[in-house]
Chain A
């Protein structure tokens, strides 16, 4: 017997989780391998994204706000899947 007795909700959660993991991994790898070369900024998080803000700032805010957006989305979809009122 599965320890997660609502598999449909759980599949939904794992899909959204995978999506966030990809975003987080891209951000972290860009910071580690794409931002500096020889100690000088070359791109990655140092690049300009929008409104004069760097990808470091936009990406960081994106991960924080995106986490909340995904969380709310999951809560709404899970509620519908479980038929909650």
Chain B
């Protein structure tokens, strides 16, 4: 599809970034100490921190990716919503308060609170950097993928814009400005999405002016002389959905029949909306590619709404429909990774250091769960709305939510587009700050024992954040053509495997030793990475093998490692701790109280 630059979207986004940068420079004067830079002096209010959790956590993968998956495949995207939110229960009940008491600025601080071990700090810092990297790449690629349809700029421009803006935000005022970026973004995201859902419910469902028959195939062909749509050159008056709109009054994704035989439902409530969808027939579109002619064909397929509310239509979740145990284990492993991964993500955990005490950590997590949960409830409505709005771009699922908003007017499209872009800003800020802390505070100061006073640490962190920001831009450009959405799932698997066993056992088992933690983190990190690299999924998506070759060449039976590597991490920690406790590896110091940051 041809997307025109939305001047309003550019203006809204520029206004947001400008306001945040101005705030950053003003706040920068207050963040000269390490306590200010890494942890906002521990003075962030619990409500602000709770909403900032939402702004930190709800990335483009959540907003655009989940809505797009639901719009294209139905229920499966909602499984991500459920798994992502469930992970916050682990954070609240297991991790939040203890980690606030243990640490100071980074995840490594918390893990090393009792041991004062350079080896442990080194491994924890490396794990932070690896996890942050896997999370960062899809965010940057997503920024580039968004900017062309939303702002009319090339991929590299979107990546560079986000990279420069985020680097400026993090390098000037660190956690203080990052908190406010995430707070503003989290607020905007939930409010704007709630508004769109309210409009959706008010509109209800309606049939196209003329039914779409099974033979209404649409084609797009890439030829040496250009792109052909339904046999004619792509142009403003001949886009992929032009013929559909002309002949049937609606584009891709529409209702074919309503329960009771009406043509429109009028306004619906939240329950009746889903009930009506379940009882409807929906015109979905099946994509097939003929590589020999460069032709992609979209064929209308009528499906029952109730079937679209079943799991397993998307390749990631197809295991639930497969009778083989290995396929089901893949699904179970992914749901386990989502459940355990949230509380193990470094850029989420460092937010706990910004509040004043453990009670505030608890309250802010509750607020975060409320905001994030509200958003994930909305995703099902947004996805179904996009599926039936007649405005889908069948070539780009990520555009489903913004295109849904456009059915309500260009103004809302512009606002949603700008909000979509800011989702990247909020998450990338947190990731770069987590990485900068790992480099400056953990590796440089504690592992390499470089003589860095408070201001020296801040200077080092700012330089590290600039380097990480530049690196993020380069990676976002290099990975442009690769399907990177799976990298977020990888990040969850690695985080759950490398960090969670150590965090949990440190808190609940007194015989944990530093050698046990080092071994567990190493095994979790290397094991999960190795499993992923040897899986059929990676061989196909990253190394370009055919599905059949990938399946036969894979060295592991399924693609998601958490169901193996998380227990392996626990087992390694227990075995190594028992073997090393007599060698003096056990906890030797009382827990350090997290003193108030300067």
Contact = CB atoms under 8 A, between A and B. Distances in A.
Contact of B98 (A3, A38, A39, A41): A3
A28 B335 contact: yes
Interface in B363-405: 363, 365-366, 369-370, 373, 376-377, 380
B278 A32 contact: no
Contact of B507 (A4, A37, A45): A4
A24 B307 CA distance: 22
B81 A64 contact: yes
A56 B310 contact: yes
Given A31-B311, A53-B278, A63-B82, A71 B89 contact: yes
B425 to A, nearest CB: 26
Nearest to A29: B332
B472 interface: no
Contacts of A56: 75, 78, 309-311
Contacts of A79: 359
Contact of B323 (A4, A37, A52, A84): A37
A68 to B, nearest CB: 5
Contacts of B274: 53, 57
Contacts of A74: 92-93, 362, 366
Given A36-B321, A71-B366, A60 B98 contact: no
Interface string B328-354: 100110010001000000000000000
B102 interface: yes
Nearest to B110: A3
A9 B359 CA distance: 11
Contacts of B369: 67-68, 71
Nearest to B509: A3
Contact of A32 (B320, B365, B507): B320
A17 B92 CA distance: 9
Contacts of A38: 323
Contacts of A51: 271, 275
B561 interface: no
A61 B81 CA distance: 10
Contacts of B339: 24
Interface string B273-313: 01100110000000000000000000000000011011110
Interface residues of A, number: 50
Nearest to B307: A41
A67 B94 CA distance: 14
A24 to B, nearest CB: 5
B556 interface: no
Contact of A54 (B306, B328, B376, B377): B306
Given A68-B373, A75-B363, A16 B81 contact: no
Given A20-B86, A75-B362, A84-B359, A45 B311 contact: yes
B102 A20 contact: no
Contact of A36 (B102, B309, B312): B312
Nearest to A36: B321
Nearest to A20: B89
A43 B291 CA distance: 39
Max count, chain B CB within 10 A of own CB: residue among A29, A60, A78: A60
21 contacts: A3-B508, A6-B97, A10-B97, A13-B97, A14-B93, A17-B94, A20-B86, A20-B93, A24-B339, A31-B79, A39-B321, A53-B274, A56-B78, A56-B311, A60-B82, A60-B380, A64-B373, A64-B377, A67-B85, A71-B365, A82-B359
Interface of A: 1-6, 9-10, 13-14, 16-17, 20, 24, 27-29, 31-33, 35-39, 41, 45-46, 51-54, 56-57, 60-61, 63-65, 67-68, 70-72, 74-75, 78-79, 82, 84
Interface of B: 75, 78-79, 81-82, 85-86, 88-90, 92-94, 97-98, 101-102, 114, 271, 274-275, 278-279, 306-307, 309-312, 319-323, 328, 331-332, 335, 339, 358-359, 362-363, 365-366, 369-370, 373, 376-377, 380, 506-508, 510, 590-591
